[in-house]
Amino acid sequence: MRTPAIDLRWERWERSDGDFNDLAWLDGPLEAPLVVLFHGLEGSARSHYAVSLMQALRARCWRGVVAHFRGCSGTPNRLPRAYHAGDSAEIAALLAHLRPQAGAAPLYAVGVSLGGNALLKWLGEYGDRAQSYVARAAAVSAPVDLPAAGRALDRGLNRLYAWHFLKSLKAKMRQKRAAHPAHLGHLDLSGIWSLRAFDDRVTAPLHGFRDVEDYWTRSASKPYLRHIAVPTLIVHARNDPFMPSAAMAGPDEVSPAVTLDYPATGGHAGFPCGPFPGRLDWLPQRLLAYFEQTAGLSRNTPGRPKCLVPAGPSGLNIGCADVSLH
């Protein structure tokens, strides 16, 4: 399931607090829509879902940007703080920075996994105000019930995935501890063998939470879904190993602006399609079809931006997932 790389233009946005966010841009016609992607835990522009989405955008002659959370671009950020699943203030700052760069074209936002939860939380917090920033939004495999997702990650084979994340998170935190001994010199990373333990000892206190339960409870986006005003698509596979299907948001837990799409299969942020090992084009096509439909666009609409690269296959192959809509 190897996805070919795509060339992006990298830009460093210097923040007023002395830190920075790295932005990876797919350039295109100025009149084309702009899609911003908020990645998942330890994700980046190199993540398979980011590459697949940028490829689909290029085929449509749309613009795209991967907004890296602090420390996720391959270069350590400057401050002791990092990023977390409930960081809606970071979403707000990034969208406020990117909205003018969209110009007169619509700005669409996509969040995957951790980034999806943070985006949904921001959408709920901002309510009607969010419509001045984004025209449409989508969240993929978002752990809207963080306590349930956290418990699931510490069980069975999920612990292998958790160990992969922990290895990267602990390495970054050791770098931070060396760079900020006055703030983090006391931090003890020994004996941390689960994401719950890492969030309890590191993520929570580093970002102003009392402990892991306080962090997970206050950061979960599920209570905010009723307040979303921007048309928003939530895509989540029922067999996602990182969050039990019983914890997924039901129709009575979301606002009328939210569309729930829960395929039976797809795993976590994967949704492979076709013969083994599969293609990863179903998800980006699903997202962009939603944006096109709600914006009143189609691939044959007169006046679409002229493209300098060949357009991809037209139409949405919906047959690769058992899709149910609300």
Show me where the domains of the chain are located. 9-144+220-320, 146-219
* All residues at 6 or more sequence positions from 146 whose CB lies less than 8 Å from its CB, including other chains: 85, 86, 117, 215, 216, 217, 219, 220
Per the annotation, the verdict on 322 as an active-site residue is no
Q: Select from 42, 169, 39, 149 the least CA-distant residue to 94.
A: 39
DSSP assignments along 36-103, one per residue: EEE--TT--TTSHHHHHHHHHHHHHT-EEEEEPPTT-SSS--SSS----TT-HHHHHHHHHHHHHHHT
Given the residues 113, 141, 219, 221, select the one marked as catalytic: 113
Structure confidence at residue 282 (pLDDT):
94
Give the DSSP per-residue string, 256-313.
TTEEEE--S--TTTT--BSSTT-BS-HHHHHHHHHHHHHTT--TT-TTPPP-SS----
Asked if the model's pLDDT at residue 240 lies above 90, the reply is yes
Please tell me the distance from the alpha carbon of residue 258 to that of residue 138, in angstroms, as a whole number: 9
194 is annotated as an active-site residue: no
Give CATH for domain 9-144+220-320: 3.40.50.1820
- The per-residue pLDDT for 160 is 85
pLDDT for the residue 217: 98
CA dist list (Å): 120 to 1, 162, 206: 29, 23, 22
2-36 confidence digits (pLDDT tens): 455 689 999 999 999 999 999 999 999 999 999 99
Q: Which of 79-83, 243-247, 316-320 is predicted least confidently?
A: 316-320
Amino acid 296: pLDDT: 52
- pTM of the prediction? 0.90
DSSP 250: P
Tokens representing residue 160 in the block: 């292998």
Tell me the per-residue pLDDT of 176-220, one tens digit each, with 9 for 90 and over.
999 999 999 999 999 999 999 999 999 999 999 999 999 999 999
Beta carbons of 184 and 122 less than 8 angstroms apart: no
Q: Which residues contact 187 (CB under 8 A, 6 or more apart)?
A: 173, 177, 201, 202
Instruction: State the average pLDDT for the chain.
Output: 89
For residue 291 the two structure tokens come to 């944006």
113 in active site: yes
d(CA 12, CA 121): 25
pLDDT digits (tens, 9 = 90+) for 306-324: 444 333 332 333 334 433 3
pLDDT band at 157 (very low <50, low <70, confident <90, very high): confident
pLDDT confidence of residue 6: 82
Contacts of 62 (CB under 8 A, 6+ apart): 28, 32, 33, 34, 35, 288, 305
Per the residue annotation, which of 22, 145, 200, 240 is the catalytic one? 240
Burial class of 15 by CB neighbour count within 10 A (0 to 12, 13 to 18, 19+):
middle
Token representation of residue 6: 């795509």
Residue 222, token pair as written in the block: 């599920």
Whether the CB-CB separation of 37 and 65 falls below 8 Å is answered with yes
SS3 state at 184: helix
Which of these is catalytic: 68, 84, 236, 268? 268
pLDDT in tens, 38-55: 999 999 999 999 999 999
